[in-house]
Amino acid sequence: MSKHTEYYKYLRDYVGTQPLILPGAVVIIRNTAGKVLLQKRPEGKWGLPGGLMNLGESFEQVAEREVFEEVGLRVRNLQLLNVYSGEKYYMKAANGDEFYCVTAVFLTSEVEGNLQLDPSETLEAGYFEDTQLPEPMVGSHRRFIEASREMKASE
């Protein structure tokens, strides 16, 4: 297996739909006005750019790669907000795949490039006030943004 193969797909060949622990990362990117970058994913939900870890990657590398793949931006100066895991991050996909997410959530306002969307991963993207998030939205991503807002308020 190549280290660039999507690792979770490789595992699914062996375990079918049985539960997996899937590590990944998302990035809360704020522009100079403090708005958060969100992407509309192919399943129709809005969320943060990010995705799952491949073999040999660090959480930071996942964050950088996924943001670039999904929205065409290079992120710099990633700051770890938190790592989220546990029972409330259990999911069951429409196809029956079960998994527990372990998600490193990073913050940054340092980006290079212009939005360039990969239509296989991002239908649209834009910056939103963190108090006026679009629907439908990935529930855990809403919680991550709320946690970042609380952190920003306490600074």
| E strands, the chain, in order | 20-29, 36-40, 46-47, 50-52, 74-76, 79-84, 90-92, 98-108, 110-112, 124-128
List, for residues 98-126, the tens digit of each pLDDT value.
999 999 999 999 999 999 999 999 999 99
Q: Report the CATH number that the domain containing residue 26 is assigned in CATH.
A: 3.90.79.10
**Distance of CA 148 to CAs 23, 54, 117, 145, Å?**
20, 26, 25, 5
Domain count, the chain: 1
- Read off the pTM: 0.91
Domain containing 109 equals 7-154
For residue 153, pLDDT over 80 is answered with no
Residue 1 lies in a domain: no
Residue 103 lies in a domain: yes
List, for residues 24-68, the tens digit of each pLDDT value.
999 999 999 999 999 999 999 999 999 999 999 999 999 999 999
Looking at every residue in the chain, the average pLDDT score rounds to 92
Listed residue (74, 82, 125, 124) closest to 107, CA to CA: 82
Residue 33 lies in a domain: yes
Residue 2 lies in a domain: no
What pLDDT was estimated at residue 4?
52
Residue 113 lies in a domain: yes
What pLDDT was estimated at residue 6?
82
How many beta carbons lie within 10 A of that of residue 94, not counting itself? Answer: 6
List, for residues 69-83, the tens digit of each pLDDT value.
999 999 999 999 999
Gyration radius (Cα) of the chain, Å: 15
What pLDDT was estimated at residue 10?
83
List, for residues 8-18, the tens digit of each pLDDT value.
888 888 888 89
